[in-house]
């Protein structure tokens, strides 16, 4: 199935937390959005795999996703292997998205960092013709590299290229992330200690981040995205269409 946007994320709630608003706006507007989760999140401090699968299904309904894959790489042990990057490249060729969204390659969380590197490598490899032809599947799709790869923000702050206005779907994004109830409740008293990097309050931090980046462009809530190297000009004032 042809997609407009494909999101590559490490754990089943990462896509929602980082670019849930962007995905909501796109699917509300009739665009085709898909997600590839790399792991089942089975090493997450809180919640069972069954919890997370049920939660993911609930999130999918709100997102109205066109497709959601899971590479079933081992949670907490995502590695940048040739096999993983080629499986991802095959999924990109299969769905032919115009844009890919992935973690940042220097994210503080080891799985996020590996997922960012895999996303960047797979994006490039998706455009190599013979790699495509050599795929195991008899139905291998032709090579095609998405137009743009953007990195979203996880645990590493960075100066983004632009910010998506998610004000119109802010309430829905909160509802979306609340689907992952197991991740939002401290499991026990020691929980804070285990997550001290940025604190255990996922919804609170999500709001702070949305406000920070929204305010940078004069709006209430935003999601930041980073492009490596210059983009084509999309500024409506500078676009000249007679």
The answer to whether the CB of 153 falls within 8 A of the CB of 104 is: yes
Q: Which of 164, 176, 177, 179 binds its own copies (CB under 8 A)?
A: 164
Tokens for 188, please give them.
């026990």
Q: Which of 50, 57, 147, 203 binds its own copies (CB under 8 A)?
A: 147
Which three-class secondary structure state does DSSP give residue 22?
Answer: helix
Query: Which residue stretch of 7-15, 51-59, 61-69, 79-87 sits at the interface with its own copies (rule: CB under 8 A)?
Result: 79-87
The CA-atom distances, in angstroms, between 47 and each of 28, 40, 116, 155, 181 are: 30, 11, 25, 21, 9
145 lies in the binding site for its own copies (CB under 8 A): yes
Query: Which residue stretch of 56-64, 65-73, 174-182, 210-218 sits at the interface with its own copies (rule: CB under 8 A)?
Result: 210-218
77 lies in the binding site for its own copies (CB under 8 A): yes
64 lies in the binding site for its own copies (CB under 8 A): no
Residue 62 phi/psi, 5-degree rounding, is: -65, -40
> Please, what is the minimum distance in Å from the beta carbon of residue 199 to its own copies?
5
Query: Which residue stretch of 10-18, 57-65, 117-125, 173-181 sits at the interface with its own copies (rule: CB under 8 A)?
Result: 117-125
* Measured distance CA(118)–CA(215) in Å, rounded: 31
> Please, what is the minimum distance in Å from the beta carbon of residue 216 to its own copies?
6
130 lies in the binding site for its own copies (CB under 8 A): yes
Q: Which of 2, 72, 171, 194 binds its own copies (CB under 8 A)?
A: 194
36: Cβ contacts below 8 Å, ≥ 6 apart: 6, 7, 8, 9, 68, 69, 70, 71, 88, 91
Burial group, residue 235, by CB count within 10 angstroms (0-12, 13-18, 19+): exposed
99 lies in the binding site for its own copies (CB under 8 A): yes
Q: Which of 137, 138, 189, 241 binds its own copies (CB under 8 A)?
A: 241
SS (H, E, C) 174-211: HHHHHCCHHHHCCCCCCHHHHCCCCCCCHHHHHHHHHH
Query: Which residue stretch of 9-17, 58-66, 106-114, 171-179 sits at the interface with its own copies (rule: CB under 8 A)?
Result: 106-114
| Residue whose C-alpha is closest to residue 88's, from 67, 71, 109 | 71
Q: Which of 2, 43, 57, 171 binds its own copies (CB under 8 A)?
A: 43
50 lies in the binding site for its own copies (CB under 8 A): no
Q: Which of 1, 136, 139, 232 binds its own copies (CB under 8 A)?
A: 232
């Amino acid at each position: 199935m042809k997609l407009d946007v494909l999101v590559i994320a490490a754990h089943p709630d990462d896509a929602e937390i980082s670019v849930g608003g962007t995905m909501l706006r796109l699917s509300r507007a009739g665009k085709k959005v898909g997600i590839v989760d790399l792991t089942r999140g089975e090493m997450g401090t809180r919640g069972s795999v069954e919890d997370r699968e049920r939660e993911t299904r609930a999130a999918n309904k709100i997102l109205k996703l066109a497709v959601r894959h899971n590479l079933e790489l081992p949670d907490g042990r995502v590695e940048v292997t040739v096999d993983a990057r080629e499986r991802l490249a095959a999924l990109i060729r299969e769905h032919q998205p115009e844009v890919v969204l992935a973690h940042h390659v220097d994210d503080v969380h080891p799985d996020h960092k590996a997922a960012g590197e895999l996303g960047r490598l797979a994006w490039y490899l998706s455009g190599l013709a013979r790699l495509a032809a050599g795929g195991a599947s008899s139905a291998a799709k032709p090579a095609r590299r998405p137009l743009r790869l953007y990195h979203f923000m996880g645990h590493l702050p960075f100066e983004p290229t632009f910010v998506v206005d998610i004000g119109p779907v802010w309430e829905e994004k909160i509802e979306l992330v609340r689907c992952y109830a197991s991740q939002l409740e401290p499991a026990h008293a020691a929980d804070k200690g285990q997550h001290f990097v940025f604190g255990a309050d996922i919804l609170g931090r999500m709001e702070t981040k949305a406000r920070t980046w929204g305010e940078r462009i004069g709006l209430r809530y935003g999601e930041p995205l980073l492009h490596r190297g210059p983009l084509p000009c999309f500024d409506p004032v500078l676009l000249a269409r007679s």
